[in-house]
Amino acid sequence: MTARVLDAALVVMILGALCVLAMQAVSGDWFPPDVSISQYGVGTYGWTLTVTLLFLAAGSALLLWGAYRLSAARQWRVVLPWTVWILALVVMAFVPTNEWPAPLSLTGQIHQAAAVLGLFVAPIAAMLMVGVRAGPNGHTVGTAGRRAATVAVGSGLLGWFFLVLLLLTNIDMDVTGLGYQRAWSLHQTIAVVLDIIMVFALIISLRAQAATARARAQPSPASSPTTSRSVAR
């Protein structure tokens, strides 16, 4: 059952990644976008951002369910930040920003706050999830699972780095020399892509853990009871 939940999470995340590509294709604005990712939610094809964010939220929710079943997300310090990440995606999906270059409206401010909050808490939850699973009660996940967990943590940390650059750009500290608009778009895009990679890596790592747990639960042939027969002479 747990493996099926994580398989469903992987499928939903793949659909979300395809929606990311479709969103860019229909708008004709490829990553990094001219202004920001949020602007995909404005205009005729704004629904594509809504659908994309809901797929990512659903995939993240399924991941949390699978992690809970594997005891990797039964502590509030893990569940709370990951739930905030999911809620931030839902808020962004249903509360779009306003069109650039008009000043941010109330909905635009809510959308931006949800985006920054989500990008901040998701790596925290991912690292805590990996840490809890690797604790003394954690299951062995094998080489592939450990590598995927390393990718998840590394992506989360890099995502944090680009989030800091994003926030610095917002207070007119552009370390790239690209200018506010281009720097904001670049840093935001990289941070978002890294968080998506992080979610994929977490699913793969947890899937490896689920496979190991299932293999351990199955009795080995050597431990199967045998029936001895006595031969009368």
Residues 6+ apart with CB under 8 A from 25: none
In this prediction, residue 221 has a pLDDT band, given cuts at 50, 70 and 90, of low
Residues 6+ apart with CB under 8 A from 158: 190, 194
What is the per-residue pLDDT across 158-180, written as a single tens digit (0 to 9) for each?
A: 999 999 999 999 888 888 888 98
* Mean pLDDT of the residues in the chain: 89
Range ranked top by mean pLDDT from 187-191, 218-222, 223-227: 187-191
What per-residue confidence (pLDDT) applies to 230?
41
State the average pLDDT over residues 121-126: 95
Q: What is the three-state SS of 5-23?
A: HHHHHHHHHHHHHHHHHHH
pLDDT at 85 over 80: yes
**Which has the closest alpha carbon to 164: 111, 123, 106?**
123
pLDDT at 48 over 70: yes
pTM of the model: 0.89
Compare 230 and 205 and report the one with higher pLDDT: 205
